[in-house]
Amino acid sequence: MELKADFAKHYGNGAAVRAEFALDLDGFSITVLFGPSGCGKTTILRCLAGLERPEEGRIAAGPEVWFDGSRRLQRPAYQRNIGFVFQDSALFPHLDVAANIAFGLRRLPAGERARRVDHLVELVGLQGMGRRRTTELSGGQCQRVALARALAPGPGLLLLDEPFASLDRNGREQLRASLRGILAESRIPTLLVTHDGNEAISLGDRFLMMQDGCLRPDLAPGLEVRASN
Q: Would you say residue 225 has pLDDT above 80? A: no
Q: Is residue 34 a part of any domain in this protein?
A: no
Residue 113 pLDDT exceeds 60: yes
Strand-pairing partners, residue 74, are: 67
pLDDT confidence band for 218 (50 / 70 / 90): low
> What is the rounded radius of gyration, in angstroms, for the C-alpha atoms of the chain?
17
pLDDT, one tens digit per residue, over 122-136 is 999 999 999 999 999
Average pLDDT for 138-148: 94
Highest-confidence range of 104-108, 114-118, 211-215, by mean pLDDT?
114-118
Residue 42 phi, psi dihedral angles, 5° rounding? -65, -35
Are the beta carbons of 139 and 171 closer than 8 angstroms?
yes
In a domain, 33, yes or no: no
Whether residue 145 lies inside any domain: the answer is: yes
How many domains, the chain? Answer: 1
In a domain, 69, yes or no: no
**What whole-number distance in Å separates Cα of residue 52 and Cα of residue 129?**
34
pLDDT at 14 over 90: no
pLDDT over threshold 70, residue 4: yes
Range of the domain at 114: 87-154
Average pLDDT over residues 150-165: 95
Provide the pLDDT confidence category of residue 8 given band limits of 50, 70 and 90: very high
- Whether the per-residue pLDDT at 95 is higher than 90: the answer is yes
Tell me, what amino acid is at 54?
A: P
Q: Is position 1 within any domain?
A: no
> Is the per-residue pLDDT at 224 higher than 80?
no
pLDDT above 90 for 117: yes
Work out the mean pLDDT of the chain and round it to a whole number: 91
pLDDT score for 197: 87
Percent of the chain residues topping a pLDDT of 90:
75
Residue 76 lies in a domain: no
CB-CB contact of 54 with 9 (8 Å): yes
CA–CA separation, 66 and 40 (whole Å): 20
What value does the mean pLDDT take over residues 11-18? 89
Cα–Cα dist 149/55, whole Å: 30
In a domain, 24, yes or no: no
Distance between CA 172 and CA 139 in Å, rounded?
Answer: 9
Instruction: Give the span between the Cα atoms of 2 and 63, in whole angstroms.
Output: 9
Question: 115 pLDDT exceeds 60?
Answer: yes
Q: What integer pLDDT is reported at residue 168 of this predicted model? A: 87
**83 — phi, psi (to 5°)?**
-100, 140
Q: Is residue 67 part of a domain?
A: no
Q: Phi then psi for 70, rounded to 5 degrees?
A: -70, -25
